[in-house]
Chain A
Amino acid sequence: MPISFSIDAFRRVETITEIFRTESKLHGYTSIIPGSVTSYQEITSYYPDALRRSVKYTGPDGNIYTVKSDPTHFVTRLASQNKRTGSLVQKYAYSTSKLNWRTNNGHTVENLQCGLEVYDSDTVLSEAETIRVACRVLEKSGIGKIVIDLGNTKFTEILLESCMIEDNTKMKIRNLIDSKNLPELQSLIESTNMPDETKSAFMILPQLFGPPKATIERAKQIALSEAAQAAIQRVEVLYESLIDYGFDKSMIRIDFSFTNTYSYYTSSIYKVYTADSGQVLAAGGRYDNAFGYGLAACGIALYLNEINEVIEMKQLKNSNFYTKDFAIYYAKEDRKNAFKLSDLLREMGYIVTADEQLDFSTKSAASDAEEVVRISKGQLEIMNQRMNTFSKSSFEQFIRKVEDQYVPSSIH
C-alpha cells in the first residue's frame, strides 16, 4: 500500500518536514538522505527479530537485502566512518519513508518519518535535546497537549538478568509487561522458580508509571541493585533536563515498564504523544553500540503519518498551513501590472500565484493563500485570510506595506 494522502495531507507533511529541517538545522544537526537498501544479515546478526516486518529481496549476488527498513543502520555506518576522521559528537537529521508488512492484513505500508540521531555522546543532555527538538516540531505543527513518557529499559533487563529463566520466557515476560497484561504476567511468573521478591517486583513493573517524582520514588523502593538505581537516576536527570528546557511538569510522565522487545534500546527510551489522540507521534531512546559499531548513540523519530492523522482528525487550524503567501487575481488589462507585482513579491521571498480571473470568492481557488489580491483597473483589493480583513490600496501603497510589515508565512 503506497503512501495514500490527500493534497491537503501532502501539504501538511511538507510543512512539518520543513519545520523539522529548520529546527534540526538551528540545533546543529547535519541533514542527510539515508540509503534505501540494507544488508538483511548485517542487521539481523545484531537484532534477530528486528526485521520481521521489513520488505526483503534476494539480490543477484544471492544475499538478502531489505528495502527502506531502518535508516538508523545507514546513519550509524556513516557516523562510524566519520569517526575515523576524528569527528567529535556527530548530529544527523533525516527525512525518509519506511516500508513494513502490516501483519494484520498482509499489506505493505509506507510510513514517512523524520529522525534525529546523535553519535559519540553518552550524555542524557543529548537525549533531552532530541526530545526537545521533536516537541518543538510538533508544537510548531499545531499539536497541543503534548505528553512525554520517559523510561529506561535497563530497569526491566536487570531484573530479567537476575532470573535463571529461558530466553523464550524472558521474551514473553517483556511482552506481557509491555502490554501491562497483569493476569497473564502473574500466571507466567508463578510458573517459574524465581524468588518471591523478584516475582513481586515483576508484578509491580507494569504499574510503575505516572507523574515523575512519585514514580521515581516508587521505583527506588523496588530497585534491587546498584545498576537498577543508576537506571532510575538516568531517568531522573533526563526529566530534570527537560524541565530546564522549559517543559511543564505536567507534560512529563515516567514509565518503567518500557521493555526492550528487539534488544535494540540499551538504556533510555521515550515516547511523545498528544492527549488528543491515541497514537505515538515520536519515539526514541539510547542504542549504544548499535549494529556493533561501538558508538554511543541516541535519537528520536517523528512519525509523520500519525502526526498528519492527528492534525486531520482534530482539524487543527494552524497559521503554518498556508501554502502560498499571495494569490493574485487580475483582469486581462491589468495582466502586465499583475506580473510585475508577482515578480516583485517573489523577489522578496514570497510564494505567489497569479491567475487571470476576477472572482476570487471561490473558496478552492484562494483557500491556501494568506492574502488574496484582486487587481482591477489599476486598483488593488486585498483580503487577508488569517486576519479576516479587507482593504483597498494602490499598487505603490501595497508594495510599501508589504516591504514594511510582512514576513513569509507559507512553506519555504
Chain B
Amino acid sequence: MSQVQSTNPLKIAVAKGRVAKQTMKALCKAGYTLPDDPGRSLRIMDEDKTIDMLFVKSADVPTYVELGVVDIGIVGKDVIDEKTYQIYELMDLQIGKCDLCLAAYEEFDYNKISFLKIASKYPVQSYAFLESKGIQGQVIPLEGSVELGPIVGLSDCIIDIVETGRTLEENNLKVIESIKPISSRLIANKIRYKTNTDLILEFMNTLKLQLSLEV
C-alpha cells in the first residue's frame, strides 16, 4: 500500500486588499522572497517555490480552503462566522483588525423599536445579534454600500465592519454598539493540516514570530 509524502509548495489563499498587503509584508520580513507589488496577479510564488499564494475575494477564501484547492487561508473572522465551513481555525493573526458594529443615526435606540430592520452584508451574524438581544426584526441582505439603508429608509440601522468610522461619519451615521472584534485568522483545510502538518506549522510559527515582532 502506498506511502504518503508531500514535497509541493504550501498553497495559501489570501483575501485580496489590505490583508494581502500586510501578509506579504510580514512574509517578506520573515525571509520569503516575494515581489514588492503583485500588481494584478492572482497567483504568485516565492523565489524558492516554497509558497504558492492565490489572491481571492475574501468571501471565497474559506471555500478554497474547505475544498482543498489550497492548504491554508488568511481571511477575516467576519467571513468565517457568516457561514458553516468544515475548516480548522488555527490562529488569530492580529492583522486586519476592525469591529462588527451596529450603526445608525445619532438618535437611534433599538430598545425603543418593536421591530428592527437591519441592512447588512452579514445576515447570519445580524440575525444572531437580534436573537442575542431578544429583539424582533428583519435583516435586509445587501452586498455593498449598506450605509445607504438608513439614508433611503430601507432599514433602521446597519450591521457592518467598522475600521476607522470615516464612511459612517460621512453618511451621518455613528456606531451604536460594537458587537464583536474582528481580525484576520489563519484557517486550514482539515485534511491538509494533517498531511502537510510540518509545512503548515513552520509557516504558522514564522508568521506568528514576524507579526509579534511588529506589534
Contacts and interface: CB of A to CB of B under 8 A. Distances in A.
B127 to A, nearest CB: 13
Nearest to A207: B201
B6 A275 contact: yes
Given A181-B89, A278-B191, A279-B67, A246 B1 contact: yes
Interface of A: 103-104, 139, 144-147, 149, 179-184, 209-210, 246-248, 250-251, 253, 255, 273, 275, 277-280
A147 B84 contact: no
B97 interface: no
Contacts of A184: 89
B104 to A, nearest CB: 28
Interface of B: 1-6, 65-69, 83-84, 87-92, 188-195, 197
A243 to B, nearest CB: 11
A103 B84 contact: yes
Contacts of B189: 278
30 contacts: A139-B1, A144-B2, A145-B4, A146-B1, A147-B191, A147-B194, A179-B87, A180-B188, A181-B88, A181-B89, A183-B89, A183-B91, A183-B92, A184-B89, A209-B197, A210-B197, A248-B1, A250-B5, A251-B4, A253-B194, A275-B195, A278-B65, A278-B66, A278-B67, A278-B69, A278-B192, A279-B67, A279-B68, A279-B191, A280-B191
B212 to A, nearest CB: 14
A14 B6 CA distance: 31
Contacts of B5: 250
A248 B3 contact: yes
A146 B91 contact: no
Given A103-B83, A180-B90, A278-B69, 13 more contacts: A145-B2, A145-B4, A146-B1, A147-B194, A248-B3, A250-B5, A273-B191, A275-B6, A277-B68, A278-B65, A278-B67, A279-B67, A280-B191
B171 to A, nearest CB: 31
Nearest to A255: B194
